[in-house]
Amino acid sequence: MTHRSHSSVHNERLEFLGDSVLNCVVASILYERYIEIDEGDLSRLRANLVKQQSLYEIAQKLELSHFLRLGEGELKSGGFRRPSILADTLEALLGAIFLDGGFEPARAAIRSFYIPILDSVDPQTLGKDAKTLLQEFLQSKKISLPLYNVIATHGAAHSQEFEIECLVPKLGIQVFGRGGSRRAGEQAAAKLALAAAEQAVQKAPAAARKSKPRAAQLKLAGIATVQEQPTPSAKAANK
């Protein structure tokens, strides 16, 4: 497979073709598999399955980087590991399969990539971001929506990192997340809050756990970990 950095004869027309075949086949798989899901959610599922990160992960499993021809500059900068290049390479491969053998071989290849993925995921949550999942979970339990606050910003203006607090007062949950934008920080915090909320609801009415300092949370995984505040009933019991 030839990247445009290597030669004037490259994969980009094949990428265009492969992208179209991929979208068609994935749409067909979802339509047949999830007869109870409406077109809006089918579109969400398809968008998640054909996004760059998903294609990159499939390309990694296929070890497509071993079959990729890159220009000297891309080689030196690690282009064979770049998600965008590998995702495009997978699309080009699918386009080549379609040209060589027709629709059915391309369809069979795409199904072999995606059926195992679909067997292991929940279609109701696939493609939804952490804030949406947290909101839906809390609403299903009749719990007030979370609160997000900017605690601090770190770094220079061109590379700021936002530290975000997420609170679920009814469950006594307080978590902190970081990201390169306010939205990314909120998503990081929401992911932790969702895990904490699911655990709290599952164990309720469990005794409140000892709070951890914010600095200790932020140290873990470069993001945050859960800090739960004692519930009012637990505070009363401790007096």
Eight-class DSSP state of 65? G
Active site residue 19: yes
SS3 percent helix, strand, coil of the chain, rounded to 5, is: 60, 10, 25
Tell me which residue has tokens 């756990």.
209
H/E stretch holding 15:
helix 12-33
**Residue 118: partners with Cβ closer than 8 Å, 6 or more residues away:** 29, 33
- Euclidean distance between CA atoms 132 and 199, whole angstroms: 18
Angstrom distance (rounded) from CA 78 to CA 121: 31
Please pick, among 15, 74, 88, 91, the residue that the annotation labels catalytic: 91
Q: Which amino acid is at 45?
A: L
The Cα 40–Cα 27 span in angstroms is: 12
Q: Which of 109, 96, 8, 10 is nearest to 58 (CA)?
A: 109
> In this structure, what DSSP letter does residue 209 have?
P
Question: Is residue 91 flagged as an active site residue?
Answer: yes
| The one catalytic residue among 15, 19, 74, 228 | 19
Find, among 97, 227, 213, the residue nearest to 173 by Cα: 227
Tell me which residues are annotated as active site. 19, 91
